[in-house]
Amino acid sequence: MKKVYIIIFAVIFAGSFSAIQAQTYKANKDNTVIWWQGKKIGGEHRGTIKLKSAEVEMQYNKPAGGTIVIDMNSIVDTDIENEGMRKRLVDHLRSDDFFSVEKYPEAKFEITGSERNNGGSIKVSGNLTIKGITRSIEFTSDLTSSDNIIIFKGHIDIDRTLFDVRYGSTKFFDNIADRAINDIFTLDYELYLEKILE
């Protein structure tokens, strides 16, 4: 009888240890989508940008750490029909007026922690690096999971001026009138991750 109790305890302990042990998930880049949007007076532009890599440590069914890397060279516009004008905008976004992509080909987000909200969503905290400048940010993400796959979906507002992206900002330039560009640009994402199986 004593042996039976020992076996039961061992099974329960092993299960509990497995539950608290961090599990590593790696991005499925083919399924992951990131949309960007920037607004200006009287209009807006939008497009996509590609994920370069991502690994997330999950613990208690929420992110405990990890790194997400964005390929800044992959910026494309999807709202301009004219090919020449579309290329002109993308080249401008890649230039030193905006993201200096030649010098800073990657943007990076490092997860430092997270907590569950009352509604079931997750508040994610971390450090975002754009143009070599790192700032702490927080945002809310929805999480769904099945088998060995987890999917994060959400929306992030980013103040570009905190990363020295000043072009068209009324914070730094006077008398630009209808050429002003909103300081906030947004990212909407669907991040697909697959568990790394040992």
**Measured between alpha carbons, how far is 175 from 151 in angstroms, rounded to an integer?**
44
Rounded to two decimals, what is the model's pTM?
Answer: 0.85
Structural domain of residue 148, as residue ranges? 22-195
Assess if residue 4 is contained within a domain. no
Could you give the percent of the chain with pLDDT greater than 90? 74
Q: Which residue's entry shows tokens 């927080």?
A: 138
CB 47 within 8 A of CB 38: no
Assess if residue 9 is contained within a domain. no
Assess if residue 73 is contained within a domain. yes
Assess if residue 5 is contained within a domain. no
pLDDT per residue as tens digits for the range 108-165:
999 999 999 987 899 999 999 999 999 999 999 999 988 899 999 999 999 999 999 9
| Residue 112, domain CATH | 2.40.128.110
Indicate the residue type of 134.
T
Assess if residue 133 is contained within a domain. yes
Assess if residue 153 is contained within a domain. yes
Q: By C-alpha distance, which of 49, 64, 56 is closest to 27?
A: 56
Indicate the residue type of 116.
R
Assess if residue 50 is contained within a domain. yes
pLDDT per residue as tens digits for the range 155-176:
999 999 999 999 988 887 766 6
State the total domains in the chain: 1
Assess if residue 2 is contained within a domain. no
**Measured between alpha carbons, how far is 81 from 178 in angstroms, rounded to an integer?**
22
Indicate the residue type of 37.
Q
Length of the chain (residues) = 198
pLDDT (0 to 100) of residue 42: 81
